[in-house]
Chains A and B, each alone.
Chain A
């Protein structure tokens, strides 16, 4: 009987394998049928198992999941199927989760080992660790999503940061926190964890143990130095060092913190905040590669914050500037009601060129101006300011509105602005039963008068725009306004408002103003503005200014007076 025994055969296989496969670049292990004991495992298999199980011995309580999330029962694992059923299993990808929290992805194949009598005596399993591959894929997917979040919502950056924190969990971390450094304080703007109960715990912790801006480690240190921190493993000693409060220490221990990264949110040499990634349940140990990723993410987030802050600042400056160009409140003028609406194009991201003004002259008369300066931004604002002040000053000396506009033309031509503007200036003088108005128009759409009897008249004769030509043709047009008459002045943002190829136009304006002119001046101006706004769903390209002046009934005028 020269036949080797089963165990002798396995011994031979083991010896042979040990020599051939010990240093292979994938895992190989052999197990015995019956006892299901591992007889041999090469170096790769041992290392993978140690890393994932975080134990040298037999790992207890691990679970496996297929790519679609379906759990593997113990007898479904490839090695068991080969050992018990003699099945050959080729490349099954299994996500493994250990009781310790560690996760990994393995590709497993297995096949039976039979003796010469075709009896099942054992099985061989091969494994390949796909954990890093899958993680790299997820990281790429994460960065793509993060980039989208960082660029889409640049105005509300706190919302953006919260979304970023949620995106990082659980792919990069079990915990993600984002803190901002504001006025010497650390302010948390976002915490994410897969388990909402733990977020409560984090908030509780934050309340009881607010971050110390002078702390030697963690967020405080990163904010101070602008340098990131990597703590591959968090020992208990570190927790003890972090806080003297025993309750807090206990909470921190209960959280099972394993590994941590704190990266600065830095842009343009300034540290605006910090991004904290903590691995706990997953027991992922962060590496230098993870640190680089976190630093990159922190830098990108900081750029978005910095852009959003600049944008906000610009809007604030613009609205302050705009306020200086448009009167806060129009003066109350005896015998008339004045209403105004001003709508800048865009959402306050630039200063518009439309303006209006009204002021008292002598003997119960007053002047009213509306205009539109070409262009936007500071240069337009400067000419707007020049126009308002020049008209007010000129109105004191020149009784003719046309002369006032000619003086403004001289001033604009001699200025360095090289911008032009259109304007209407008119005076209203109390007369028997109503007012006399003298209107001068410079390159602007004439005003519109809705008479008490319903007819519509034009106020003003066309005249040359200002700031372009030395000699301008501007004429005074004098009319009488009766009680109940309403005068509308507007800028071209009204008539030139577009919806596709359609334009709002003068005809539509006439109809809307006719219907609105019996309302109080403010409401009438608002009605016109609403109609212009509703005309198109696209944002207005140009500023819109609307001024309505109503001549009050005499008895009402007296009451107001």
Chain B
């Protein structure tokens, strides 16, 4: 029932992972796997959440955790949130720790 689709594109060392669908406890592992794969061979990671239609705090938490771990190893990570993700990032305080890229939905 809960489905997450992922699509990764890489150009000039910058990997962009577009997540589509649901990002919650049921799809965390899948998202984590995809994000880890995407960081291999790249020096920057963009996590695009604009096509997510449901995200909860555990889903966002894992994104933030990935971003945190990646930045500790010299990576640049940015998140492109949708409205729901942006609100959650503000509630959880993640907004002030993750680089947010604003793009039109």
The residues of A with any CB-CB pair to B shorter than 8 Å are 372, 374-376, 418, 420, 422, 442-445, 462-465, 468-469, 472-473, 492, 496, 498, 501, 503, 541-542
- Would you call A492 and B93 a contact (CB within 8 A)? no
Q: Which of B3-11, B12-20, B58-66, B75-83 makes up part of the contact surface?
A: B58-66
Are A501 and B96 in contact (CB-based, < 8 A)? no
Given contacts A422-B92, A541-B24, A468 and B56 within 8 Å (CB-CB) = no
Contact of B93 with A473 in the complex, beta carbons under 8 Å: yes
Q: Which of B57, B65, B97 has the most CB of A within 10 A?
A: B57
Q: How many inter-chain contacts with C-beta < 8 Å in the A-B complex?
A: 64
A-B contacts, 7 of them at CB < 8 A, read A420-B61, A420-B65, A422-B57, A443-B93, A464-B93, A473-B96, A542-B58
Separation in Å of the A3 CB from the closest CB of chain B?
Answer: 87
List chain B residues, Cβ under 8 A from A375. Answer: 25, 58
List 7 additional contacts besides A443-B57, A462-B90, A541-B25; criterion CB under 8 Å. A374-B62, A375-B58, A420-B65, A443-B93, A465-B64, A465-B94, A492-B57
Give the chain A neighbours of B65 by CB distance below 8 A: 418, 420, 468
When C-beta atoms are compared, the residue in chain B nearest to A445 turns out to be B91
B53 adjacent to chain A (CB < 8 Å): yes
Are the CB atoms of A374 and B58 closer together than 8 Å? yes
* Residues on B with beta carbons closer than 8 Å to the beta carbon of A420: 61, 64-65
Instruction: Tell me the bound Cα distance from A37 to B25 in angstroms.
Output: 81
Of all chain A residues, the one with the shortest Cβ separation from B93 is A464
CA distance in complex: A463, B93 (Å): 5
Distance A297 CA – B65 CA, assembled complex (angstroms): 49
Chain A residues in 8 Å Cβ range of B91: 443-445, 462
**How close is B56's CB to chain A, nearest CB, in angstroms?**
5
Rounded to whole angstroms, the CA-CA distance of A372 and B88 in the bound complex is 15
The distance in angstroms between the C-alpha atoms of A422 and B91, with both chains bound, is 10
Which residue of A is nearest B62, CB measured?
A: A374
Q: Which of A463, A464, A503 has the most CB of B within 10 A?
A: A464
Which of B58, B91, B93, B96: most chain A CB closer than 10 A? B93
B43 contacts A by Cβ under 8 Å: no
Please give, as numbers and ranges, the residues of chain B lying within 8 Å of A469 by CB-CB distance.
68, 93, 97
Bound Cα distance A501, B22 (Å)? 11
Cα of A176 to Cα of B92 in the assembled complex, Å: 61
Are the CB atoms of A464 and B96 closer together than 8 Å? yes
**Number of chain B residues whose Cβ lies closer than 8 Å to a Cβ of chain A:** 21
Chain B hits for A492, CB < 8 A: 56-57
Whether the Cβ atoms of A442 and B58 lie closer than 8 Å is: no
Q: Which residue of B lies closest to A498 (CB)?
A: B54
A376 to B58, CA, bound (A): 11
* Residues of chain A contacted by B2 (CB below 8 angstroms): 541
Q: How far is the CA of A34 from the CA of B26 in the complex (A)?
A: 81
**Is B68 in contact with A468, judged by CB distance below 8 angstroms?**
yes
Q: How far is the CA of A469 from the CA of B57 in the complex (A)?
A: 16
* Pair A496/B56 contact, Cβ less than 8 Å: yes
B25-A542 in contact (CB<8A): yes
Whole-angstrom CA separation of A91 from B34 in the bound complex: 65
How far apart sit A422 and B94, CA to CA, in the bound complex (Å)? 11
Give the docked Cα–Cα distance between A468 and B69 (Å): 10
Known: A468-B65, A541-B26, A542-B25. A372 touches B93 (CB 8 A): no
CA separation between A372 and B62, bound complex, in Å? 14
**Contact across chains for B24 and A442 when beta carbons are under 8 A apart:** no
Binary per-residue interface labels of chain B (37-60) against chain A in the complex, 1 for a CB within 8 Å, 0 otherwise: 000000000000000011011100
Residues of A with C-beta under 8 A to B25: 375-376, 541-542
List residues of chain B with CB within 8 A of the CB of A372.
57
Give Cα A375 to B56, complex, Å.
12
The distance from the CB of B22 to the nearest CB of chain A, in whole angstroms, is 9
User: What's the Cα separation between A132 and B90 when bound, in Å?
Assistant: 73
Q: How far is the CA of A43 from the CA of B58 in the complex (A)?
A: 77
Residues on A with C-beta less than 8 A from B68 are 468-469
The residues of A that contact B58 with a CB separation of less than 8 Å are 374-375, 542
Q: From A345, which residue of chain B is reached at the shortest CB distance?
A: B25
Q: Within the complex, what minimum Cβ distance (angstroms) separates A423 from chain B?
A: 11
User: Would A374 and B54 be within 8 Å (CB), given that A422-B92, A469-B68 are in contact?
Assistant: no
